[in-house]
Amino acid sequence: MPAVPGQPIYDVDLYSDEVLRDPYPHYKALRELGAVVWLPQNGLHAVARFEDVRAALRNPAVFSSAQGVAANDHVNTISRGTTLASDAPLHDRLRAIIAAPLLPRALEEIAPQIRTEARRLVDELVDRGQFDAVSDLAQHLPLTIVSKLVGLEDHGRSSMLRWAAATFNVLGSMNARACTALKDVQEMRAYLGGDEIRSRLRTGSWGDRIFAAADRGEVEPERCPVLMRDYLGPSLDTTIFATANLVLLFGRHPAQWDLVRNDPPLIPNAINEALRLESPVRGFTRHLAADATIGGLTIPRESRLLLLYASANRDERKWQDPERFDVKRRANDHLGFGNGTHMCAGLHLARLEMTALLEVLVERVAGFEIGEPVLALNNVLRGLAALPVRVKRA
């Protein structure tokens, strides 16, 4: 649906390389233009201010996910019926199944294993003195722990990473990046949907539990591969980017690292602040199930809205001095994990992984000397492909 009368227009492709390299000035321009801005190049209405994004996320009856959360029709059609792309009551049923092992009480069981692995890894890297914050540090826990928990430990690291990046690339507009990624998503679907997948899963693993739920009649058997994708797709690059962003921010702001080293209980807040300032998920879309009035403009039902979490997290209406990295800021209500009914199902695991690494890093590292970061261009995610680091040992 095109612009409504009186609506501000922003004639920039929000999925172009140029915007992906530095989206923040564009987000600022959108916030200044109005509460809901028409993007003619993407065929979307952009919502970029904090209060409006959060209100939309908290109103799934109007801002629906059931028609998909991508910025293109093809993926919105093929992805319907996943946890991410569904509304109640289906969403509640699917989410209950996948969220069970990701709840804090269930994670207590695996927390010691994650902490031990984090200590082993950080000790090894700090002894080495220099490493890559993405491939050596940030990728390790998501790749080893998550694939093991899902029950697919023997599958190739490179396939997993390719599939994870593709999962998000196809959720943008159908540009060249998304077209290439579609092939990878099809490969992932074929692998997870194959007849032999159940026999490959370790007994008691998260994947195995999904099939057990189908045996009990809690979910249709054909949905099992889809639910497995809910673990693999969104759990890797998100956490990897968030972890590497922490190193980047602490490398750029050594005084903030000193604050955390001297007061490790600041770690959870530092993680929130980094997710606020450099949100790995820039935004998803919603489909209007009814007319919605945003900032005085009524957008008709059937329109598609782009909710920009990464912009909301820098909205000057909400945050004082929003571009400053401040580990003491009260940042816990950022939208980096979304909000409302679709709020990230894996946030406790992501926090656990990042906390485990930081707890050892504060003991062992006095400071990070960072080299030139290499950006990973992804239609939906923001993060690094590489970040050379040399550490000063504590």
**Under 8 Å between Cβ of 69 and 84:** yes
Indicate whether 172 belongs to the interface with ligand HEM (CB under 6 A).
Answer: no
**Residue 127 Cα to chain centre, angstroms:** 31
The DSSP code for 146 is: I
Count CB-CB contacts under 10 A for residue 185: 22
What's the min distance (Å) between Cβ of 100 and ligand HEM?
12
Count CB-CB contacts under 10 A for residue 119: 16
Burial of 107 (0-12, 13-18, 19+ CB in 10 A): middle
Indicate whether 168 belongs to the interface with ligand HEM (CB under 6 A).
Answer: no
**Residue 158 Cα to chain centre, angstroms:** 19
Indicate whether 68 belongs to the interface with ligand HEM (CB under 6 A).
Answer: no
Using CB under 6 A, pick the residue from 349, 358, 360, 391 that binds ligand HEM.
349
Q: Which of residues 309-328 bind ligand HEM (CB under 6 A)?
A: 309
Q: How many residues bind ligand HEM (CB under 6 A)?
A: 28
What's the min distance (Å) between Cβ of 143 and ligand HEM?
12
Indicate whether 381 belongs to the interface with ligand HEM (CB under 6 A).
Answer: no
**Residue whose structure tokens are 């994990």:** 337
Q: Report how far residue 122's alpha carbon sits from residue 118's, in angstroms, rounded to the nearest whole number.
A: 6
Strands 382-386 and 284-288: unpaired
Using CB under 6 A, pick the residue from 121, 133, 171, 344 that binds ligand HEM.
344
Indicate whether 7 belongs to the interface with ligand HEM (CB under 6 A).
Answer: no
What's the min distance (Å) between Cβ of 307 and ligand HEM?
7
284 three-class SS: strand
Q: Report how far residue 170's alpha carbon sits from residue 256's, in angstroms, rounded to the nearest whole number.
A: 36
Stretch that binds ligand HEM, among 18-26, 217-225, 338-346, 368-376 (CB under 6 A): 338-346
Stretch that binds ligand HEM, among 176-184, 212-220, 229-237, 255-263 (CB under 6 A): 229-237
Indicate whether 95 belongs to the interface with ligand HEM (CB under 6 A).
Answer: yes
Q: Which residues bind ligand HEM (CB under 6 A)?
A: 65, 69, 83-84, 95, 98, 102, 230-231, 234-235, 238-239, 242, 275, 280-281, 284, 309, 336-338, 342, 344-346, 349-350
